[in-house]
């Protein structure tokens, strides 16, 4: 029973990874690079095809290839490997925390796969209007993996701050 509880969150990891890679493959196959395929709600939400060789907000896009490879591939592989080990072995994690961290791992793995196997960088395709907030007319384009990391990261912080510690191994 304990084994199943510790392994079951990895279904979320696999699901996020599968949806992320499937949507990216659809974008690459069906939408020409740097073009808008469809808009929803006026121009609030657009599906486009962009690539990012950097991290969030294209940070590090101009770094030399070797530096980008170490910072955005090797280090994240080590961190996600450690995270997966931690999700499985940590006795202090609640089941809820395991699921949330598994969502972060799935998103991280989705972008690492792109960095390793897509020479042009991570495929981004979700483009949202931001109405000039923080001086940005549009939020930087993102993908399912990015959304998973951000949403699960926010959930994890909120749970750590506002929830009593559960002991649910």
Which one of 20, 114, 124, 127 is the catalytic residue? 124
Rounded CA-CA distance 11/54 in Å is 28
Known catalytic residue at 43: no
Task: Tell me the pLDDT tens digit for each residue of 135-165.
Answer: 778 888 999 999 999 999 999 999 989 876 6
Known catalytic residue at 127: no
What is the pTM for the complete model shown?
A: 0.85
- Those residues with Cβ within 8 angstroms of residue 62's Cβ, 6 or more apart along the chain or in another chain: 54
- Give me the pLDDT at residue 167, please: 53
Which one of 20, 114, 127, 146 is the catalytic residue? 146
Q: Residue 138: beta bridge partners? A: 129
């Amino acid at each position: 029973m304990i084994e199943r509880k510790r392994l079951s969150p990895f279904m979320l990891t696999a699901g996020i990874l599968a949806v992320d890679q499937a949507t990216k493959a659809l974008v690459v196959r069906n939408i020409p690079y740097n073009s808008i395929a469809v808009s929803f709600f006026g121009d609030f939400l657009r599906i486009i095809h962009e690539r990012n060789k950097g991290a969030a907000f294209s940070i590090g896009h101009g770094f030399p290839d070797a530096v980008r490879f170490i910072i955005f591939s090797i280090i994240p592989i080590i961190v996600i490997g450690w995270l997966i080990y931690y999700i499985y072995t940590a006795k202090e994690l609640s089941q809820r925390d395991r699921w949330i961290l598994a969502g972060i791992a799935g998103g991280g793995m989705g972008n690492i796969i792109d960095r390793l196997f897509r020479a042009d960088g991570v495929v981004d395709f979700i483009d949202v209007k931001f109405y000039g907030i923080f001086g940005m007319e549009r939020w930087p384009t993102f993908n399912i993996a990015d959304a998973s990391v951000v949403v699960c990261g926010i959930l994890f912080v909120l749970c750590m701050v506002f929830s009593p510690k559960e002991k649910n191994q």
